[in-house]
Amino acid sequence: MPPAIPQGVIVTNPLTDQDLVVSWQVFPTPILGFNVYRSLSRQGPSTKLNASLILITFYDDNTATQQARTDYWYSVTAVDATGESAPSDPVQQNPEANNNSQVNLPQAGDAVEMNQIAILAEGVRRNEILLRRGGETVNVFIRRTAGVRCANFDNARIQCKLPNCPICYGVGYVGGYDKYSNVLMKIEPYEQNIALTEFGVKVTSGAPSWITTFPIVKPGDIVTRTINNRRYELQNLDTKLSRGIITRQSFNLNEILPTESPAIFSLR
């Protein structure tokens, strides 16, 4: 029989009005992946958005706002070897619901609030200018914390049985990491620490490296330098917040050697 219907489907626009993110709960049983459907009404008809099965528990729809002032309805299905589940109940999201142009400012305090937001946006813009002038282009691999479980996952130990697993790279979820290409990052070269380990010579950046607001990183994520393909694990994250919004993400980079973790070097 087909798998169960995905639960907990929600639609948000966490970054800008240019993206709507559909997310749902982690699936309790092994499956092949998910499909996301979109329609212009609750009754349909609906169109599948993804070209291939989704292996994580969210989908970024960056085409919805091409039709202004349009309500979209989303549903999700699960797929396993027996077939595709029935769709989840359609969930609605208006892409322009958070558009600042629709907000009235009847009070002076509201105008002050908007001015502070403008100052914050200018600070983020200046950080991006600094990165363009003194940073470098890297690839960031965000470690997956949800999705389809790897076939080599050990439920008793709550980890993958193979640290160099070709399916999940030791993370426990199929695919292991989500790749973000051409991210501007400032890597401080003048305070690097060099140490001899059992795996070879390792380099750790003593001074914090940093990026701006996106992608949102966490300890354990992987950074790949495009100039030399050297790979680093992100550590000691220090996220700068202003009024609840991320303005800068600082961290240290601990180099990973090919002999230390072959799976990380197979990430492309």
| Tokens 């990052």 belong to residue | 185
Q: What is the DSSP string of the chain?
A: -PPPPP---EEE-SS-TT-EEEE-PPPSS--SEEEEEEESSTT--EEE--SS-B-SSEEEE-SGGGSTT--EEEEEEEEETTEEPPPPPPEEE-TTTT-GGG----SHHHHHHHHHHHHHHHHHHHHHHHHHHH-EEEEEEEEP-SSSBPTTEETTTTEES-TT-TTTTTSSBTT-EEEEEEEEEB---TTEEEEEETTEEEEEESSPEEE-SSS---TT-EEEETTT--EEEEEEEEEEEETTEEEEEEEEEEEE-TTT-TTGGG--
Q: What angle do CA 109, 239, 125 make, to 5 degrees?
A: 60
- Which amino acid type is present at position 5? I
Two tokens, residue 259: 């002999």
Instruction: Give per-residue pLDDT as tens, 32-63.
Output: 889 999 998 888 899 999 988 988 788 888 77
Architecture of domain 10-93: Sandwich (2.60)
Residue 188 in tokens: 């401080």
pLDDT score, position 104: 41
Question: pTM for the whole thing?
Answer: 0.58
* Residue 67: predicted pLDDT: 55
State residue 117's pLDDT score. Answer: 58
What is the location of CATH 2.60.40.10 in the chain?
A: 10-93
Predicted confidence at residue 109, as pLDDT, reads 47
pLDDT tens by residue, the chain, 268 residues: 888 899 888 887 654 555 678 888 866 677 888 999 999 888 889 999 998 898 878 888 877 765 556 778 999 999 988 999 999 999 987 544 444 333 343 444 445 444 555 666 666 777 777 888 788 889 999 998 888 889 998 888 878 888 789 899 988 899 999 888 888 898 876 455 666 776 666 666 555 788 887 788 899 999 999 888 889 999 889 888 766 667 788 998 888 888 888 888 888 8
Two structure tokens written together for 138: 């890297």
Determine the pLDDT at residue 106: 42
